[in-house]
Structure 1
């Protein structure tokens, strides 16, 4: 089931990222980052209510582990989204999305000591192929000696690291709750979005000195970003709760197919033979990871 949930989440995220790139250009990074959480709240709240009615409620464990881990998840996702949008400004839409895909191997490494998930040799090969494919698509090898000076690369890798932390923390937070795993994922997601919305709305209000600023800028596009983000996040957080987040993120590399489409036809960016080759490697990685779990 996690495979279908992940494919759905990846499809939603591909479209959402394209809209969010446009929103960032028109309304700024802060509003574009905020829109993905604030405008997703109604949908996620309704989803959680359905989960409670269908699968039952959950209870908090003793102590504050859930709130600590879920808060780290929320903050990491804010930074990941901000870094990715910065790459869009300094590089390209395709570059930003592709570099963020290093999250798969980072999630595997971070998750080993925290989640105690094991991976087969085939799964590790699949993750390695996926990350190498993303780097092949994004790095100009003739400039490799000066790659550390490339702001796009730094922001992209930072985004990948923060997304990896997000996925691992989301899994830990969901598993810290007692009850249905579906409801647990919904509770975690709602808490994360509430915290993110509060922080980002406060920042935007302070910056603009207008209490209504979060609801006045590009409302139609903000609503699209929020709804797509909500649908995608429901899929991601549920999948993180079911299997190793590294496996989820590797399968989610198929989002790159949508990235190439939007990069070429929506933002008129040229797709090189090197990028197509890297894309093929990512598809191979997805096949290997999927085969390792069936």
Structure 2
């Protein structure tokens, strides 16, 4: 089940990221980051309502870590999205998305002490090959000596770390609730989007001194970003709750297929042989992880 859910999430995120890149260029980083939470919240609200009526509601046990974990998830995801959009400005669409893919191995490392998750040797091999594949696709080898000074690399790796924290903390928050794991994941996502909307809308309204500022810029494109983001997030958060987040994120590397397509077709970027080799490595990593699971 988690495999199909993750593939659905990856497909939605691939298209959403392309739209979000366009939105960032036209309306700025803040609005592009805000749109995925504010415009996605209504759809997620309906989803949680359906889950509650169909699978049962959740309860919050005493001493639960839910609030801390879910709040950390919301803040980390804001930073992750912002940093990835910054990479788009300093590098390319493909570079930004692919560097953020280091989150898979980072999620595995963070999840060991926090979630007490363990991976088999085959799964670890898949995770590592996937991350190496992402790096092969993004690093310019002729500038390898100066790669530590590349702002695209710094922003991309920072985005990957924040996305890893997001996935691990989302899993923690979902498991802190009592009830159907599907509903728990939905409630966690709803709280995360609500908090993000409050924070980002507040910043945008304050900067522009206009209470309707979040709705005045590229409404139709923002709506597309929000809808695709909410669908993808439903898949991601459910996957995080079902299995080790590192496995979900490694399988989610298949998003690279969509990344290459939109990079070439939508933004007219050239795809090199090196990037295709890295993409093949990611495909191998996915096969290893699914087989190991």
Asked if Structure 1 and Structure 2 have the same fold, meaning a TM-score greater than 0.5 normalized by the shorter chain, the answer is: yes
In structure 1, distance between residues paired with 2:167 and 2:64: 19
Report how many residues are paired: 293
How far has the Cα of 1:63 moved from its partner?
2.5
SS in 2 for 1:166: helix
1:218 matched to 2:222? The reply is no
Report the counterpart of residue 287 of structure 1 in structure 2: 287
SS in 1 for 2:73: helix
Q: Does 1:55 align with 2:55?
A: yes
| Counterpart residue number, 2:117 | 117
1:1-294 mapped onto 2 (5 Å cutoff): 1-63=1-63, 65-293=65-293
Query: 5+ residue gaps in structure 1?
Result: none
Superposed CA deviations along residues 142-181 of structure 1, whole A, max 9, x for unmatched, are 2111111100000000000000000000000000001110
Helix, strand or coil at the partner of 1:43 = helix
- CA distance in structure 2 between the partners assigned to 1:36 and 1:19 by the alignment: 11
Alignment partner of 1:124: what SS?
Answer: helix
Gaps of 5+ in 2: none
Cα distance in 1, alignment partners of residues 150 and 178 from structure 2: 45
3-state secondary structure, aligned to 2:113: helix
Deviation sequence 1:199-230 (CA, Å, 0-9, x none): 00000001111100001100000000000000
Encode CA deviations 1:62-87: one digit per residue, 9 max, x unaligned.
Answer: 13521111000000000000000000
Divergent runs of 4+, >2 A = none
Contact persistence 2:66–2:173 (CA under 8 A): yes
Instruction: For residues 210-260 of structure 1, give each alpha carbon's deviation from its aligned partner in whole angstroms, at most 9, with x where no partner exists.
Output: 100001100000000000000000000000000000000000000000000
Cα shift at 1:61: 1.7
8 A contact 2:84–2:155 mirrored in 1: yes
Aligned mates of 2:226, 2:80 — CA distance in 1: 16
1:4-56 C-alpha deviation (Å, 9 max, x unpaired): 00000000000000000000000000000000000001100000001001110
> Per-residue deviation at 1:110?
0.2
Q: CA deviation at 1:94?
A: 0.1
Partners of 1:85 and 1:104 in 2: CA distance: 19
* CA RMSD of superposed structures (Å): 0.5
**TM-score of the pair, normalised by structure 2:** 0.99
CA distance in 1, matches of 2:182, 2:65: 19
Deviations 1:104-161 (CA, angstroms, capped at 9, x unpaired): 0000000000111110000000001000000000001121111111000000000000
